[in-house]
């Protein structure tokens, strides 16, 4: 079985169509359980593919700031509600 990708380079994220929920959590700077809770509550949109839930990469790219420098990806915490 193929291991799920949990880390994305800037170029990989630009080309991706979907990412796993754990990868989206890492990119957004939140915990996996928080990401799954937000996915369950509809805050993070997910698609179901078989038994997997994946996050549309387009939505994820809209939520983060991809800068031209070497600082990489930064999540904007104001786009996510506080954890309950």
Per-residue pLDDT tens for 53-81?
A: 999 999 988 888 654 433 444 455 555 55
User: Among the CATH numbers 1.10.1660, 1.10.287, 3.40.1090, 1.10.3470, which is that of 10-72?
Assistant: 1.10.1660
Per-residue pLDDT tens for 9-49?
A: 778 888 899 999 999 998 888 899 999 999 999 999 999 99
- pTM for this one? 0.69
Decide: 31 and 84 in contact? Cβ < 8 Å.
Answer: no
Decide: 63 and 76 in contact? Cβ < 8 Å.
Answer: yes
Domain coordinates in residue numbering, the chain: 10-72
Tokens of 80: 């996510």
Which residues, other chains included, contact 21 with Cβ-Cβ below 8 Å and sequence gap of 6+? 32, 35, 36, 39, 44, 46, 53, 54, 55
Q: What angle do CA 50, 47, 19 make, to 5 degrees?
A: 95
């Amino acid at each position: 079985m193929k291991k799920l990708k949990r880390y994305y380079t800037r170029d990989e994220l630009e080309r991706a169509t979907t990412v796993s929920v754990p990868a989206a959590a890492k990119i957004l700077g939140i915990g996996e359980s928080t990401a799954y809770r937000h996915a369950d509550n509809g805050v993070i949109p997910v698609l179901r593919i078989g038994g997997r839930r994946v996050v549309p990469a387009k939505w994820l790219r809209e939520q983060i700031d991809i800068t031209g420098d070497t600082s990489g990806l930064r999540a904007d915490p104001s786009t996510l509600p506080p954890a309950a």
